[in-house]
Amino acid sequence: MVYVREKFLPNLKQYKYSSVDHSLVSKYVLKPFYTNFVIKCFPMSMAPNLITLTGFMFVIANFLTLLWYNPTLDQDCPVWVYYSWAAGLFLYQTFDAVDGTQARRTRQSGPLGELFDHGVDALNTSLEVLLFAGTQNMGQTWKTVATLFASLLTFYVQTWDEYHTKTLTLGVVNGPVEGILILVGVYAMTGFMGGAHFWQQSMLGAFGLPQGFLGLPDWLYNLSFTEWYMVQGTVVLVYNTVESARNVIKARRARGDRSRYALVGLVPFFSTWVLMVAYLALQPNILHNHLVPFVLFAGIVNAYSVGQMITAHLVKLDFPYWNVLVLPLGWGVVDSFGPVLQQYSPIPGLGWPSALGDDVYQVGFMFCMLGMAVGVYGSFVVDVIVTICDYLDIYCLTIKHPHTEDSGGEKSMQLNGGKAKVG
């Protein structure tokens, strides 16, 4: 399947990365650390995209230890596992940041770097949800699903914002900087406190506050650390979504476009999640016993949507509203809803028997959805990367045209497939 038509490829040469990072931690702590120390650890011959991919391998290693020690997301792991998750995530953040600096110093900045970087970040999002659930003993429950929804929505909205405003905007407190550092701290603290069970106690009680403090009702006093985190996350999610919507409306008005029509771009995400919630509600066996592979499926569905948006942004295509991966999910919902109608509908004869049932065939179908998602997203990634590399005469993971000072700066004007983002 062709994802980018040849007639749109010349738009790649008009590419210019734009970002605004208001984070004080990034400005005064991380960037000096990256620029003065970390970047010197990488040779000039190493491609920026290879740095990104190498950093992602630390997250993959973390995920594999999760599958080995806590596949049900509700067991304590050896304390060293949590420390390794903290180290792995910090290294991922570091590698993901310095790839931009490496691109600039090797003169490899270009559109492929942005696409590659966003693709890896999108995959990392769902994996970190599982790791976080494992550090909180959330288990295979709706709490994990809610955390996944919030995380994927944040990433989707940020990409949707960039598509319309043409600028990646990071606030004073943002996910790629403070959000990751908080997770690193949570992982390390989990190890220090002896396991994930620590977070399941009442937060107010753990701080020594008495029952009935300030007249708080018992249900509020008894909220665990995990539940307080979810409350805080909900507030931040709503705020960031509203702010992104305001940014989009303002940018489109400045260009003379229909401003509020851009909000339709959020419909694909929410409609997909209506199907996901419906499927899990109709199939509790998947929710409570096979949630990990379903989270991977949901993460790839979101990564595919995000990848389509970034590609459309790079080559100036219309906004991508359609995601083919919702088709099997929709079929699963329809198949599962038939028996519910048969049992509860007041109208005789309404409903239909399930072709899959709720046991082994349903589990097999869920894994087939995951396999289809891997295939479709993999096809998309390979096709788009190969298309861009062929057109710009570059390689993805190696440097095809190294910059030399004797070239008089001509090489630096080429879009040689690295990073253009601010490291």
Active site residues: 118
DSSP per position, 296-312? HHHHHHHHHHHHHHHHH
Stated length of the chain: 423
Closest CA to 211 of 221, 225, 200: 221
Q: In angstroms, rounded to a whole number, what is the distance separating the alpha carbons of residues 123 and 288?
A: 23
φ and ψ at 168, to 5 degrees? -85, 115
Closest CA to 186 of 126, 129, 258: 129
Strands (E), 155-225: 168-170
* Element spanning 19, H or E: strand 19-21
Tokens 């219309």 sit on residue: 318
Phi-psi label, residue 214: left if phi above 0, alpha if psi -120 to 50, beta otherwise: left
- Residues paired with residue 168 on neighbouring β-strands, in sequence order: 19
SS3 state of residue 15: coil
- Check if the beta carbon of residue 171 is closer than 8 Å to that of residue 23: yes
- Check if the beta carbon of residue 399 is closer than 8 Å to that of residue 47: yes
- Check if the beta carbon of residue 111 is closer than 8 Å to that of residue 15: yes
Q: In angstroms, rounded to a whole number, what is the distance separating the alpha carbons of residues 225 and 412?
A: 50
Q: In angstroms, rounded to a whole number, what is the distance separating the alpha carbons of residues 319 and 265?
A: 7
What tokens appear for 24 in the block?
Answer: 């004080």
Amino acid identity of residue 389, one-letter, is C
